[in-house]
């Protein structure tokens, strides 16, 4: 079984932009809705993602937190495009920026459309207690807040968030 250990953070400032080593545009949609995950009728999120000339299906266990089961499988571009167009409730658009700090890769997602203005840094770790650098631009951790999960950004986009939600105030702990 594949395991993903990932922590998410808001950004304190834009100084990370000077350290970007690569950026890629991503389109992704979900084949299992956020509502099914919230209701407990789905045990996993199933995502189709396209980046450039690559596409894949991603399956993650539906649990909140930094450690989840994860599986990824490549799919043909044409299949991904068809799934995004016909099988997903919406498509999330973002640019993922890669920034390396002391040998650790941070993936910074800058969202578009109804999620414009939201920028989140993610870092994948080898274990839940692994140490990692804390650059000055890394802000408050939001790993435990379900609204920051990409699957939830389609159903409840950043443009509709309250001021408290935008300040990372607490929320129910369901995916």
- Catalytic annotation on 30? yes
Phi, psi angle pair for 151, to nearest 5°: -60, -35
Judging by beta carbons within 10 Å of its beta carbon (0-12, 13-18, 19+), is residue 164 exposed, middle or buried?
A: exposed
Distance CA 56, CA 42 (A): 20
Find, among 94, 133, 98, 99, the residue nearest to 117 by Cα: 94
**What DSSP letter does each residue of 107-151 carry, written as one string?**
EEEEE-GGGTT-EEEEEE-SSTT------TTEEEE-TT-GGGSHH
Q: Give the residue numbers marked as catalytic.
A: 30
């Amino acid at each position: 079984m594949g395991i993903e250990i990932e922590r998410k953070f808001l950004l304190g400032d834009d100084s990370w932009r000077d350290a970007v080593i690569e950026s890629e545009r991503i389109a992704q949609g979900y084949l299992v809705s956020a509502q099914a995950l919230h209701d407990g009728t789905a045990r996993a999120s199933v995502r189709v993602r396209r980046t450039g000339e690559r596409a894949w299906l991603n399956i993650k266990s539906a649990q909140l937190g930094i450690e989840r089961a994860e599986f990824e499988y490549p799919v043909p571009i044409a299949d991904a495009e068809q799934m995004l167009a016909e099988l997903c409730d919406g498509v999330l658009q973002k640019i993922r920026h890669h920034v390396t700090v002391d040998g650790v890769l941070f993936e910074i997602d800058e969202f578009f459309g109804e999620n414009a203005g939201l920028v989140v840094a993610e870092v994948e770790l080898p274990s839940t207690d692994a140490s990692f650098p804390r650059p000055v631009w890394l802000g408050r951790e939001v790993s435990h807040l379900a609204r920051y999960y990409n699957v939830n950004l389609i159903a409840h986009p950043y443009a509709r968030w309250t001021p408290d939600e935008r300040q990372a105030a607490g929320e129910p702990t369901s995916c």
